[in-house]
């Protein structure tokens, strides 16, 4: 299977991505964080997108992220989040999205593909200052439980009560996508598309289709709107290729999850259908 996902509720998703998908008989999953400017200003259009068969996925309300990122404010610094605060945000976002599309079930995507909330302790903070954040030492500090003062933990366990599945990241252009029987349903692997040429997109998908697996592509900007970007002409040609050769394999994330995990992902009403 193949799923096309779009993060952050950008204007380009409404103006370019969704109409192009529909022109070729395809549906996508749009992971919307509700504080995004192009979400609140264009609610009727997002309602229409859902009505045409696309999935409106949960991407939180405030898109919390590491406080070191330039655009993160105190109010959405993931370092300051606790589990209960995250649960409240996810459940509230679900309620608001249900008011738009009438669906009780949708999937989730971790902002920045990061499932860890809370702040570092003394040891890991020191490793960051020493430029050793991406060595093996932070992981060793976690395993030995010596990061004094840390509140960091995964919020993946929260998702099991709220969503049928959740999309993470972790794949690169060179990755061999693992078979789905080895997947964690609450951290689905995906690859972020940034500056790829058309042929590399096609080759990545075709490589995935030779395996018993699920190719999940993660788009942000389409011809602008985000620092992670796919050229608009590349996207247009890639979608046309998908529509011609693999339209029957393209599913929203929620529908693909229902196919794979029938016992735990229940059908929703109304059931979204391909445009």
At residue 200, the 3 state secondary structure works out as helix
Q: Answer whether 0.95 is exceeded by the pTM.
A: no
At residue 230, the 3 state secondary structure works out as strand
Amino acid 274: pLDDT: 42
Using only the alpha carbons of the chain, give its radius of gyration. 19
Measure the CA–CA gap between 198 and 61, rounded to whole angstroms.
33
- Taking 70 as the pLDDT cut, the residues of the chain under it are 263-275
Measure the CA–CA gap between 31 and 58, rounded to whole angstroms.
6
Say which residues have a Cβ less than 8 Å from residue 172's Cβ, sequence separation at least 6: 191
- 16 closest CA partner among 231, 193, 242, 195: 231
Measure the CA–CA gap between 211 and 118, rounded to whole angstroms.
37
Measure the CA–CA gap between 105 and 94, rounded to whole angstroms.
8
Query: Using the 8-state DSSP alphabet, how is residue 80 labeled?
Result: G
**CA distances in angstroms from 124 to 53, 171, 187, 191, listed in the order given:** 45, 25, 24, 27
Residue 257: in which H helix or E strand, if any?
helix 253-260
Measure the CA–CA gap between 127 and 167, rounded to whole angstroms.
29
Amino acid 145: pLDDT: 84
At residue 77, the 3 state secondary structure works out as strand
At residue 119, the 3 state secondary structure works out as coil
At residue 198, the 3 state secondary structure works out as helix
At residue 126, the 3 state secondary structure works out as helix
For the record, the structure tokens of 48 come out as 């229409």
Amino acid 223: pLDDT: 95
């Amino acid at each position: 299977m193949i799923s096309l996902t779009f993060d952050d509720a950008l204007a380009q998703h409404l103006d370019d991505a969704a109409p192009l998908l529909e022109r070729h008989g395809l549906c996508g999953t749009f992971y919307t964080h509700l504080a995004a400017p192009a979400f609140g200003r264009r609610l009727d259009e997002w309602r229409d997108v859902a009505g045409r068969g696309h999935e409106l996925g949960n991407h939180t309300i405030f898109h919390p992220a590491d406080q070191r990122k330039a655009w993160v404010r105190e109010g959405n610094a993931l370092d300051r989040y606790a589990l209960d605060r995250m649960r409240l945000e996810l459940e509230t976002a679900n309620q608001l999205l249900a008011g738009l599309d009438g669906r009780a079930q949708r999937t989730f995507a971790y902002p920045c593909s990061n499932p860890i909330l809370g702040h570092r302790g003394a040891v890991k903070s020191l490793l960051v200052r020493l430029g050793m954040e991406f060595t093996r030492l932070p992981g060793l500090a976690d395993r030995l439980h010596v990061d004094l003062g840390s509140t960091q933990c995964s919020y993946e366990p929260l998702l099991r009560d709220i969503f049928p599945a959740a999309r993470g990241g972790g794949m690169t252009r060179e990755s061999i996508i693992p078979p789905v029987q080895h997947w964690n349903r609450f951290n689905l692997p995906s690859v972020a598309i940034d500056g790829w040429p058309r042929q590399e997109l096609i080759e990545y998908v075709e490589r995935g289709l030779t395996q018993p697996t699920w190719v999940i592509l993660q788009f942000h900007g389409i011809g602008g709107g985000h620092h992670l970007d796919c050229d608009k002409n590349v996207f247009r040609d890639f979608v046309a290729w998908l529509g011609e050769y693999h339209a029957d394999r393209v599913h929203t994330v929620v529908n693909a999850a229902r196919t794979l995990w029938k016992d735990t992902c229940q059908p929703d009403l109304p059931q979204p259908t391909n445009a």
